[in-house]
Homo-oligomer: A and B are copies of this chain.
Amino acid sequence: MAMIYKGSEVTEALNERIANDVEELQSRGISPTLTILRVGERGDDISYEKGATKRAEKVGVAVRNVILPLDVSEDALINEILKLNADDSVHGVLMFRPLPEHIDEDKVRNMLAPAKDIDGITDLSLAGVFAGIETGFAPCTAAACMEILDYFDVECKGKQAVVVGRSLVVGKPAAMMLLDRNATVTVAHSRTADLPGVVRQADIVIACVGRAKMVDASYLSEGQIVVDVGINVLEDGSLSGDVDYAAAEAIVQAITPVPGGVGTVTTSVLMKHVVEAAKRINA
């Protein structure tokens, strides 16, 4: 039976470190502050906002909410972002996406100052991830995968890592971060020939395709560490990752569960980035 890499374990350790950092900053008169910028009333956004607010409270990060109507003009939204950029009491900004269709998302997201871009949505943050340097921040989900590997002391150096999925929010940044850790990194995807065979050879698997249980027994082999990024809603309303958990449990060395894996760590990584942003600016 596989070891279960529970997100809660990682989160607990991470929260403690963040809370200590917050205390240290507060002792210098700095209160790490996250602004959540939401356009409209989408249920997903509101539910993430609740979770993030609770997590922020736990670690001592202050949260401010900016809520704009769904029909907000592009100019008004940009103006709001520029105000947040200029506001020294705000260290990180989380802006929910997608934005409404009448807004040019590429233009708007790049208005955010990279120094406050704690979820890696600007081109300059992405360039930093690509280059392996700290211009802005990595997208939180990709960073959460690394946080899990680090917490459980998974050695990446010289290991074969396969990232299944090539999105700009998870697959590509995770690949770059694994490369920084000196893994040999393969990015596989829907066009990969013999995808099960490619994944089977990996020591470390990051599954981020967004298809429930796609990574089944045929993809897996003994000794693998599997990080399951997917959160898919099944017909019966329950959640499933991109990995067939039951099948994996019997084969691999370790796996993150869904729910209770990467997702919960992501929220703490967001807080870590806010604190890191506050530290960098006050270094």
Check A184 against B179 for contact (C-beta < 8 Å): no
The smallest beta-carbon distance between A190 and chain B, in angstroms, is: 9
What number of copies of this chain does the assembly contain? 2
Q: How far is it, in angstroms, between the C-alpha of A157 and the C-alpha of B190 when the chains are bound?
A: 11
Chain B residues in 8 Å Cβ range of A131: 123, 126, 168
Chain B residues in 8 Å Cβ range of A128: 123
Chain B residues in 8 Å Cβ range of A124: 123-124, 127
A38 at the interface (CB under 8 A from B): no
Q: How far is it, in angstroms, between the C-alpha of A185 and the C-alpha of B184 when the chains are bound?
A: 11
Contact size range, A:
20 to 34
Check A191 against B158 for contact (C-beta < 8 Å): yes
The smallest beta-carbon distance between A180 and chain B, in angstroms, is: 9
Check B179 against A198 for contact (C-beta < 8 Å): no
The residue of chain B having its C-beta at the shortest distance from the C-beta of A171 within the complex is B179
The residue of chain B having its C-beta at the shortest distance from the C-beta of A190 within the complex is B182
Q: How far is it, in angstroms, between the C-alpha of A130 and the C-alpha of B191 when the chains are bound?
A: 19
Of residues 121 through 143 on chain A, the ones whose CB sits less than 8 Å from some CB of chain B are 123-124, 126-131, 135
The smallest beta-carbon distance between A156 and chain B, in angstroms, is: 9
Check B184 against A192 for contact (C-beta < 8 Å): yes
The smallest beta-carbon distance between A196 and chain B, in angstroms, is: 12
CB within 8 A of A127: which of B126, B175, B184, B186? B126
Chain B residues in 8 Å Cβ range of A189: 179, 182, 184
A271 at the interface (CB under 8 A from B): no
Q: How far is it, in angstroms, between the C-alpha of A182 and the C-alpha of B190 when the chains are bound?
A: 9
Check B185 against A187 for contact (C-beta < 8 Å): yes
Check B184 against A184 for contact (C-beta < 8 Å): no
Q: How far is it, in angstroms, between the C-alpha of A98 and the C-alpha of B261 when the chains are bound?
A: 44
A172 at the interface (CB under 8 A from B): yes
The smallest beta-carbon distance between A269 and chain B, in angstroms, is: 20
Of residues 153 through 206 on chain A, the ones whose CB sits less than 8 Å from some CB of chain B are 157-160, 166, 168, 172, 175-176, 179, 182, 184-189, 191-193, 198
CB within 8 A of A198: which of B157, B176, B184, B192? B184
The 7 closest A-B pairs by CB, nearest first: A123-B127, A127-B127, A130-B130, A186-B186, A182-B191, A158-B193, A184-B192
**Known contacts A124-B124, A130-B172; can you find 14 more A-B pairs with CB under 8 A?**
A123-B123, A123-B124, A123-B127, A123-B128, A123-B131, A123-B135, A124-B127, A126-B130, A131-B168, A158-B192, A172-B179, A179-B187, A182-B191, A184-B198
